[in-house]
Amino acid sequence: MVIKVWIKTLLARITTVIEFCKDCGARQPIVWHATDDLWDRISGDKNVLCPNCFDKRADQKGILLMWTPKAEYER
């Protein structure tokens, strides 16, 4: 039983998609969110951007972003 759980966990880690920023190439280990309309205005045709590149693109378009942390869960 323990081996089955271990194998499922290992397979989940192997099959996890690793995404990279299309501007700087940095690996994206964090999850962040922008509204659809803001994303469309800033990202253009890019489907993955890191927060830094997203912020740079917003600045180039004259859009000032305010990042707000949000707790997803608590222990």
Domains in the chain: boundaries: 17-66
Q: Cβ of 22: how many Cβ atoms within 10 Å?
A: 15
Per-residue pLDDT tens over the stretch 13-52? 655 667 899 999 998 877 788 888 999 999 987 788 999 9
- With 0.85 as the threshold, say if the pTM is over it: no
Instruction: Confirm if 65 and 55 have CB atoms less than 8 A apart.
Output: yes
